[in-house]
Each structure stands twice: as C-alpha cells, then as structure tokens.
C-alpha cells in the first residue's frame, strides 16, 4: 500500500524560511538555460516534492501562484509504485487538502487491483464487442458493446487529480505512468513533474463517418488532460506513444486505426497554466488548447517554454481563443518512428499567440511556410525565432503561401516572463540535457 514519507529534515518555520532563485543569467552562462533550482536561504535546496512554481514563471504564477501539495502534512505524503497505490493516494476528487504523491518506478495503468496486467481482451470480455464484428457494422449493438468495453478501460486507466496536489517522480527510479491518463478537472493548484508518460492508448476507438470528408477514427484519453483546471504547472515530463507507434496501426475504412489522442490537452475553460521543460516525442495530435471554437473567452491563458518537440506531427500547440506565450522552445521537425511533421503551431478561433525566441531544426527541402497554420482569425506575434540558426519571420513565410492569413499583432503583452532567454541560438544544446523526466534531483 502507499506509504507516508518522512518529513523533510530541512523544514524551518514559515517566519524564517526564505526562497532564493538562481538568476536566469547565471544559469544560462553555465549552459543550462533556465533550470528551476529552488534554494532555501537557511538550509540549502528545497526538497523536490515540496518545490513550488517560481514567481513570474508564466501564466500559472498569476494571482495566488501554483504551490500544489507543498503544504501537505506528513500524513498526506505518499510514495506509490503500483496502480492500486496511486488510486488510494489520490483519494476522492473532492478532497482538496494538500497532498504529495511520489511515484517510484514505472506504474502500469492497465493492471487490476492485484497487479495483474490487463489486455484489451480483458476489457471487452463480457461486453459482446469484437473488432471484426464492429468493422462489419460500426453502429447499433456493436457500437453499444464498444462503448461498454471502452467504459471498462476508462474506469481503470483514468486517474482523477484533486486540487492542491503535487505528483512527482522519485529521482533515479525511471518514474512514470504507462497506459494511463491523469485528469485534472475543475480543480485548482496542481503540479505534475518528473514523470515519463507513455503509451496512453484507447483499446476501442470509435468510427465517425461524419468526421471530415471521408470519416475518421476517434480515440479517448490524453496522457494529461486539463478540463476547467486552473493554476497548473507541468514541468520536466516526457510524453511519448512508445512503444506502440502509429506507424504500426492498421487501416480500416481507408483511415488509420488511431488509438492515441492528445499528449497534453488544455480545454474547457482551463486557465493559468505553465508548461515547461518537457519532452514531447513520437506523437501526432500533441497539445490542444481550447476544445472548440466556442471554448471559454477570457481563459485558456497558457505559457509554454523551454520544451523539446521532436517526432511530433501536429498541434505543438493548436491554440484557440486564449492568450498563449510560446518562448525558448526547440522544435526538431525531422521524422521519427514514422511521425512526419505536418505543422508546429496552429492559431485559430481568434487565439492570441506570442511566439518568440524559439528554434526550429528543419530538414533540407522542408518549406518554412509549413511550420505554422491557421484559419484566418488567429494571431501569431513575436520575434527572435530561428530556423536552422537563421533569424526567420515565420508568419511572413506562412502568409505569403496561404490565403487565410495569420494576424501579426496580439492584443496582450506578456509580463510573467522570469525565464525568458534573450536568444534562441543555444537552445538545441542547452535543452538536450535539461528537459524531460529523470533530469530533476
């Protein structure tokens, strides 16, 4: 079962505790970019599990900031290494008392309470569903059976995260969750750090004949999904489909049998989110901001910085409505494991994106105009972006080649920019060793 962890030995009274941050300039000079080292002026480094989002570090620092479970009592600090322990530690979604959950090693979400691995056949057992029968008649009784089987899997692999929670991987244990989906829904103040989040897949995709011109397969489950969530910090995680890549998917009804949805989706009026120093790789529809063109106006404020995007087909991100700040990210658009690049940033539904000082590595022959996308209503502003080391106006390149123009000015100005580096030139090198799971200690 989940075990309470011992209290950190360095804790001092709140009156005496002071926090100091290494300056961005000093860290950059060391070739590390802007790694969030948090120091206690009296007692050295603050324990990883109790670290909070630094001041002015993107939208999640707005207002009350993001502290997660940092104030958790000793009795509400858990170390978990199985699915059953994780479920118990999370507890009721309505229990908002601060808690810290330390993930030790790899947790397989597709297991039962006893730890036995579950397959898609286990979830479909007793429902009457079979793919062969569904392909013959993807409606009626088989659609009901598919939905029933999907509901069984959902109950097992979706983990609901309460307010005021920190979930963090234990350093040195290759911590992560495979096949699972962390859902942060209608709650405030959550931190997710240092986790490898892989192979989140739907056993039972649905066929929608009205999706697009020729129909499409639609799957459920993002590795992390934010719905109506506020003050969320997603930091130093690795997102990947591996080892079940889309290239191995079969084709039915002329479309790829897609079992993956998003990696990190931010929708349904989510707001005040900072996404930093993650690695996104081996994925198609990676990050969606805004569930539809009518999602919540005045919300969806997201900062995305110092992330690595490699082997990503699209949605890095796809942004609707909100105010999104993209800075100091590294995009490598080389095809990896069959994931060919379609576009990086899509601004639509009047989204106000500021993309500055990012670096794109683009193979020879790839058109710069393909790095962006839009519907003619979204904006992408910002300067200092580099393509293969050369200063490039991405919006001009896109607008020259497309009839639906991106707007070039945004209606807001970022102020929460404590980690903004003045140049993108060193990002391919500095982010290689300072992003993703397993870096923090």
Q: Which residues face 324 on adjacent strands?
A: 302, 353
* Residue-level pLDDT at 17: 34
> What phi and psi, each to the nearest 5 degrees, are found at residue 434?
-125, 15
> What's the pLDDT score for residue 45?
81
> How would you list the strands of the sheet with 318-320, edge to edge?
158-160, 181-185, 224-227, 264-267, 288-289, 318-320, 345-348, 372-374
Q: Which of 91, 103, 40, 96 has the alpha carbon at shortest distance from 68?
A: 96
Buried b (16+ CB within 10 A) or exposed e, 326-339: bbbbbbbbeebbeb
Question: What pLDDT score does 44 carry?
Answer: 56
What's 436's DSSP letter? S
Q: Which of 395, 427, 404 is nearest to 32 (CA)?
A: 427
Q: Residue 91 phi/psi, 5° resolution? A: 65, -155
Return d(Cα 249, Cα 256) in angstroms, integer: 6
pLDDT score recorded for residue 41: 37
Instruction: Say if residues 395 and 353 touch (Cβ distance below 8 Å).
Output: no
Token output for 224:
């992390």
pTM for this predicted structure: 0.90
- Let me know if 405 is exposed, middle or buried by CB neighbors in 10 A (0-12, 13-18, 19+): middle
Peptide bond preceding 243 in cis form (omega within 30 of 0): yes
Other C-beta atoms closer than 10 Å to the C-beta of 5 total 18
The pair of three-digit structure tokens given for residue 290, joined into one six-digit string: 């805004």
Residue 208 forms beta bridges with which residues?
216
Residues forming beta bridges with residue 103, ordered by sequence position:
80, 169
Judge whether 315 counts as a catalytic residue. yes
Task: Decide: 279 and 310 in contact? Cβ < 8 Å.
Answer: yes
Cis peptide before 280 (omega within 30 of 0): no
Q: What is the 8-class DSSP label of residue 292?
A: S
Q: Which residue in 175, 173, 214 sits closest to 192, CA to CA?
A: 175
Written as one string, the DSSP assignment of 36-80 is --EEETTTEEPPGGG--PPTTBSGGGSTT---TTTT--GGGEEEE
- Name residue, tokens 């639906």: 404
Residue 132: how many CB atoms within 10 A of its CB? Answer: 7
DSSP 174-233: --EEES-EEEEES-EEEEEES-EEE----SSPEEETTSTTT-EEE----SEEEES-EEEE
C-alpha to C-alpha distance for 403 and 376, rounded to whole angstroms: 8
Structure tokens at 378: 């979204």
Tens place of pLDDT for every residue, the chain, 441 residues? Answer: 444 444 333 333 333 333 333 333 333 333 333 344 444 433 458 899 999 999 999 999 999 999 999 999 999 999 999 999 999 999 999 999 999 999 999 999 999 999 999 999 999 999 999 999 999 999 999 999 999 999 999 999 999 999 999 999 999 999 999 999 999 999 999 999 999 999 999 999 999 999 999 999 999 999 999 999 999 999 999 999 999 999 999 999 999 999 999 999 999 999 999 999 999 999 999 999 999 999 999 999 999 999 999 999 999 999 999 999 999 999 999 999 999 999 999 999 999 999 999 999 999 999 999 999 999 999 999 999 999 999 999 999 999 999 999 999 999 999 999 999 999 999 999 999 999 999 999
Q: How many other C-beta atoms are found inside a 10 Å radius of the C-beta of residue 48?
A: 20
Query: Which is the catalytic residue, given 76, 315, 348, 357?
Result: 315
DSSP SS3 for 308: strand
Phi, psi of 144 (to 5 degrees): -65, -40
Any idea how long the chain is? 441
- The whole-angstrom separation of Cα 304 and Cα 291 is 18
């Amino acid at each position: 079962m989940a075990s309470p962890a011992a209290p950190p030995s360095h804790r001092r009274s709140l009156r005496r505790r002071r926090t100091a941050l290494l300056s961005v300039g000093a860290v950059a000079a060391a070739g590390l970019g802007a790694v969030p080292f948090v120091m206690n002026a009296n007692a050295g480094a603050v324990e990883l599990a109790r670290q909070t989002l630094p001041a002015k570090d993107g939208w999640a620092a707005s207002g009350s900031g993001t502290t997660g479970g940092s104030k958790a009592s000793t009795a509400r600090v858990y170390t978990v290494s199985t699915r059953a322990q994780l479920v118990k530690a999370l507890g009721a979604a309505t229990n908002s008392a601060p808690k810290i959950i330390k993930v030790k090693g790899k947790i397989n979400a597709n297991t039962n309470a006893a730890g036995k691995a579950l397959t898609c056949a286990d979830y479909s057992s007793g429902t009457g569903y079979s793919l062969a029968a569904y392909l013959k008649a993807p409606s009626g009784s088989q659609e009901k059976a598919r939905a029933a089987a999907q509901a069984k899997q959902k109950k097992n692999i979706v983990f609901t995260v309460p307010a005021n929670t920190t979930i963090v991987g234990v350093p040195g244990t290759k911590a992560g969750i495979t096949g699972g989906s962390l859902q942060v829904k209608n709650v405030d103040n959550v931190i997710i750090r240092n986790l490898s989040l892989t192979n989140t897949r739907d056993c039972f995709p649905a066929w929608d004949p009205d999706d697009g011109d020729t129909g499409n397969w639609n799957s459920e489950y993002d590795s992390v999904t934010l719905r109506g969530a506020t003050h969320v910090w997603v930091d130093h995680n690795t997102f990947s489909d591996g080892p079940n890549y889309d290239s191995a998917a079969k084709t039915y009804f002329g479309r790829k049998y897609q079992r993956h949805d998003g990696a990190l989706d931010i929708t349904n009026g989510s707001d005040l989110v900072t996404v930093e120093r993650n690695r996104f790789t081996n994925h198609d529809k990676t990050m969606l901001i805004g569930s539809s063109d009518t999602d919540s106006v005045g919300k969806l404020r997201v900062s995305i910085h110092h992330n690595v995007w490699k082997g990503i087909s699209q949605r890095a991100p796809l942004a609707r409505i909100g105010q999104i700040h993209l800075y100091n990210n590294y995009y490598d658009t080389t095809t990896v494991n069959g994931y060919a690049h379609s576009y990086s940033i899509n601004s639509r539904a009047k989204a106000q994106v500021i993309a500055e000082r990012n670096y794109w590595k683009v193979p020879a022959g790839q058109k710069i105009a393909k790095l962006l996308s839009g519907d003619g209503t979204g904006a992408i502003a910002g300067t200092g972006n580099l393509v293969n080391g050369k200063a490039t106006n991405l919006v001009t390149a896109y607008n020259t080649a497309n009839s639906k123009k991106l707007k070039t000015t945004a209606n807001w100005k970022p102020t929460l920019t404590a980690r903004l580096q003045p140049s993108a030139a060193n990002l391919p090198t500095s982010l290689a060793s300072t992003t993703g799971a397993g870096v923090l200690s």
